[in-house]
Structure 1
Amino acid sequence: MRHSWDIGLKASDVTPESVWKSRRRFLGGATLAPLALAAPALAQADDDAPTGALLPAPRDAKWSTDETVNSWHDITTYNNFYEFGTGKSDPSQYAGKMSLSPWSVQIDGAVRKPMTLDIADLRKLAPLEERVYRLRCVEAWSMVIPWTGYSLSHLLSHVEPTEDAKYVVFTTVVQPKAMPGVQEGILDWPYVEGLRMDEAMHPLTLLTFGLYGHELPAQDGAPMRVVIPWKYGFKSGKSLVRIHLQKEQPVTSWMRAAPQEYGFYANVNPAVPHPRWSQATERRIGSGFFAARIPTRPFNGYEKYVAALYKGMDLRRNF
């Protein structure tokens, strides 16, 4: 069954999320089996309704989880986006000041066809696919989020990487007047993250343009971000303005700031504690502060799909 935003309905035509949640759940679970759908729907109460333009997206069922998705309110008001401050509510408070148009992304480095594309062209580069992922961050909290996007591999193949393309580096925009965290010097800006080439080409690595069938809100990384669901959230660079391919492993922002705590790989690994807390359990946002914590799963539950990328590696040393 197609989504309401597949067929050109207005936001006001969409079923309330409270009904949507009671009618269907994303199927697949620990095995991430294909998705089965009942009637389409979206927004909850008026203060928890998706905003922004509808983003047409056919459904990609393969990678979806059966866990209940978090509400729009959860996803858009509890964020890490240090350019706006270290508080979880800072992005929702300040990100509305960002300038999102015009927006272009430079793709360059070890590629045969370097190019700069605007956001409209990037969305058209491959069919948009909605996927539901569990994202966890180093603070040991997690969410289930319905992202809209396509595999990053589509874009990388389009620019034709050369033999020297061993790593992919993502750079986030810097808008000092709109981003109070930039003025505070929390990190060395711009924010930089990276992946090994085989990680970047994996179909689970998502170039993301939407949330809940609408364009991404600024606080969630508008107009384009990357999502790597088997890694901790800081790896998923937001509001990207450059994707650079290179031979050398990059020194990312958190590696530079605290190398003893944040490594290059950042795979979800409950067996490797953060120096200041355990990562063996996590708290699902929206479950209530006193809800029982749940076990953290290796590679965030995607082990069968991505563990082979790290065969022979010591994941305690390569954290």
Structure 2
Amino acid sequence: MLIKRQAEGIDLPQGSEITPRAVFESRRSFIRQMALGSIASGALLPFSQNAQAQEGGGQKLAARPNTAFVAMDKQTAYKDATSYNNFYEFGTDKADPAKHAGTLKTRPWTVAIEGEVKKPMTLDLDSLMKMAPLEERIYRLRCVEGWSMVIPWIGFSLSELIKKVEPTGNAKYVEFITLNDKKQMPGVYEPILNWPYTEGLRMDEAMHPLALLTFGMYGEVLPNQNGAPVRIVLPWKYGFKSAKSLVKIRFVKEQPKTAWSLYAPQEYGFYSNVNPAVDHPRWSQASERRIGEDGFFNRKRKTLMYNGYTEVAPLYAGMDLKKFF
């Protein structure tokens, strides 16, 4: 049963506050989310010191640690990071991606780079991964629904790819287009979003060193449910901006129409920077719960502006961040 009374000093989310309006009534995940949230946290060691506890047994992926990009928070356990996900192509329940993403075939795989570039190309996965040295970066990732994780990702700055394809002066935005295959992705039968899933960035955002073209996590290739074989990770933006299972990167003149902003423009803006001062219309963004660490009945932690990545602030100098949310 749903708990509707709120004890003093305890911030309890309602079921409707953690799902899109079109799907929360049919969700069966509220009880599961309560169970996940109430797991007491352990003293997790960094991946390099606790590899056996963190690894998932997947294919290893070597990368050099980049100490310039290390969140000092305790890392989320691998089992939590790979079993509590949003990936609507495999279902709307947080557990659905881990259950259903085994149907995704990640080899062979190609990514097309096209649009306003001097050097359009289509690359297979191996060629794409060799465009720059792979790095391990430990990033916080904040979900618009109010939960967060800390994950050691593997990839390289998206800017490395952008420089090699040489965008023209007409390229003002970068659009990301993901796989749309009903045979592999049962969730796309549901008309929740306008498939394929699309996302986008302004060119200066895409060129920021934090924007990571990502191939792995926890020392291994990406699990299917986390966006295999290649995705974007944007740690200063809400998680839905980090498009998964990419098949196309397009350089365009006009601001792309993105999946969630098409679904509910009053709720999901194009920029979607983590901003505790701008609430979602149906819940506050001022606080968050760290999966595996903050218990469901524990007080939430305060959300940081730009998720703590304040080095991106100059990208938005002079902008009204309540208007451009």
Tell me, yes or no, whether TM beats 0.5: yes
Q: Which residues of structure 1 form unaligned runs of 5+?
A: 1-18, 26-38
**Is residue 250 of structure 1 aligned with residue 256 of structure 2?**
yes
Contact 2:117–2:166 (Cα < 8 Å) also in 1 = yes
Secondary structure, aligned partner of 1:256: helix
**Is residue 212 of structure 1 aligned with residue 218 of structure 2?**
yes
Q: Which residues of structure 2 form unaligned runs of 5+?
A: 1-41
Match of residue 88 from structure 1: 94
Partner AA of 1:290 in structure 2: F
**Is residue 147 of structure 1 aligned with residue 129 of structure 2?**
no
Counterpart Cα distance in 2 of 1:148 and 1:51? 16
Contact 1:130–1:149 (Cα < 8 Å) also in 2 = yes
Distance 1:20 1:124, change over 3 A: farther
Counterpart Cα distance in 1 of 2:217 and 2:49? 15
Contact 2:55–2:218 (Cα < 8 Å) also in 1 = no
Partner AA of 1:85 in structure 2: G
Of 296, 306, 309, the match for 1:302: 309
Matched ranges for 1:1-319 at <5 A:
21-22=44-45, 24=46, 40-44=49-53, 49-287=55-293, 288-303=295-310, 305-319=311-325
Over residues 55-82 of structure 1, what are the superposed CA-to-partner deviations in whole Å (9 max), with x where a residue is unaligned?
0101111011110000110110000001
Partner AA of 1:127 in structure 2: P
TM-score, scaled to structure 2: 0.85
Partner AA of 2:93 in structure 1: G
TM-score, scaled to structure 1: 0.86
Contact 2:55–2:219 (Cα < 8 Å) also in 1 = no
Superposition deviation, residue 163 in structure 1? 0.2
- Pick 1 or 2: higher relative contact order, CA cutoff 8 A, min separation 6: 2
Superposition deviation, residue 186 in structure 1? 1.3
Secondary structure, aligned partner of 1:157: helix
Secondary structure, aligned partner of 2:283: coil
Match of residue 18 from structure 2: none
Q: Percent identity over the alignment? A: 59
Counterpart Cα distance in 2 of 1:89 and 1:291? 23
Match of residue 31 from structure 2: none
Secondary structure, aligned partner of 1:106: strand
Secondary structure, aligned partner of 1:143: strand
Over residues 181-216 of structure 1, what are the superposed CA-to-partner deviations in whole Å (9 max), with x where a residue is unaligned?
101111110000000000000000000000101000
Counterpart Cα distance in 1 of 2:96 and 2:260? 19
Counterpart Cα distance in 1 of 2:132 and 2:55? 28
Show structure 1 runs of 4+ deviating over 4 A: none
Partner AA of 2:191 in structure 1: G
Secondary structure, aligned partner of 1:306: helix
